Amino acid sequence: MIEPATETPVIEIRDLHKSFGALEVLKGVDMIAHRGDVVSLIGSSGSGKSTILRCANLLEDSQQGEILFKDEPVKWKGDGAHRHPADPGQVLRIRTNLSMVFQQFNLWAHMSILQNVMEAPVTVLGRDRAEVEAAARGYLDKVGIGDKCEAYPAQLSGGQQQRAAIARALCMEPEALLFDEPTSALDPELEQEVVKVIKDLAAEGRTMIIVTHDMKLAADVSDHVVFLHQGKIEEEGPPERLFGAPESERLQGFLSATQAA
């Protein structure tokens, strides 16, 4: 058994910078996730949490720094604001291996839930339709909505739609799951349905990076927590220390504010 510390990370980010015009959102961020790690990103709105995820799976172009997937660096062309990935095949491979679960579900309204889950493995990966359907039904069972295969997104609650989105991500058989505020669009009772699924996935040893406003979720499932402030990592470490004995005054203030909310 290889020790986790010497194992090739699934995703590694080094000195990442990202600006939107004159607004510098990420100011030199380093992050690493080994196989089986659950890394949570916390911080105030605008601190750069979601931007890290979108840069990691190349939905956004960063201006500086390295992104490595299983030790393979992203190939770039151009510099600064003109920097873009150089290899479309590499982009597709990385995106399909870092499945993203969005805040707003992003399900296709004209497709049944089963069709939503099957679409990308069949059309993007070219997998056998019958095999994908069997896998998709299995993942929908796994997230607790196996009886909703023939329903359409509009017929489901927000919690059920988000669980369908998680099943869709799982059906790509990714190396890691990226969650961008997966519960923030949900009412509290529906939020717990999704939290349970995420906790179950963490217990299975899935590699996950989670942007979340839910400090209890971050404390319960994370191996490592990263607190971002104004585009920089202010403090990071195991959840017991960050939530139990935060060193940074900014983190102490952030946690006090979230507890008071």
Domain assignment present for residue 164? The answer is no
**Residue 180: strand pairing partners:** 211
Q: Is the pLDDT score of 130 beyond 50?
A: yes
Q: What is the mean pLDDT of residues 247-252?
A: 97
Has this prediction a pTM greater than 0.85?
Answer: yes
What is the percent of the chain where pLDDT is above 70? 97
Domain assignment present for residue 122? The answer is no
Q: What does pLDDT average to over the chain? A: 94
Q: Is the pLDDT score of 173 beyond 80?
A: yes
pLDDT band at 4 (very low <50, low <70, confident <90, very high): very low
173 φ, ψ (degrees, to nearest 5): 50, 55
Q: What is the mean pLDDT of residues 118-133?
A: 96
The domain that contains 187 carries what CATH number? 3.40.50.300
Q: Is the pLDDT score of 3 beyond 60?
A: no
Domain assignment present for residue 147? The answer is no
Instruction: Give the C-alpha distances (Å, rounded to integers) separating 52 from 64, 120, 132, 134, 165.
Output: 13, 23, 30, 33, 20
Q: Is the pLDDT score of 103 beyond 60?
A: yes
Cβ-Cβ contacts under 8 Å for 192 (sequence gap 6 or more): none
Domain that holds residue 45: 4-106+178-260
Instruction: Give the C-alpha distances (Å, rounded to integers) separating 192 from 159, 186, 252.
Output: 8, 9, 26
Domain assignment present for residue 125? The answer is no
CA distance 226 to 40: 6
What is the percent of the chain where pLDDT is above 90? 93
Number of domains in the chain: 1
CA distance 175 to 181: 20
Domain assignment present for residue 232? The answer is yes
pLDDT digits (tens, 9 = 90+) for 56-79: 999 999 999 999 999 999 999 999
CA distance 255 to 245: 11
pLDDT for residue 185: 85
Long-range (24+ apart) CB contacts under 8 A made by 90-93 are: 91/58, 92/124, 93/69
Angle of helix 158-170 relative to helix 188-203, nearest 10 degrees, comes to 20
Domain assignment present for residue 131? The answer is no
pLDDT for residue 165: 97
Cβ count within 10 A of residue 109: 8
Rg of the chain (C-alpha set)? 18
CA distance 145 to 131: 19
Domain assignment present for residue 249? The answer is yes
Domain assignment present for residue 173? The answer is no
pLDDT for residue 7: 83
pLDDT band at 1 (very low <50, low <70, confident <90, very high): very low
Q: What is the mean pLDDT of residues 165-187?
A: 95
Q: Is the pLDDT score of 257 beyond 60?
A: yes
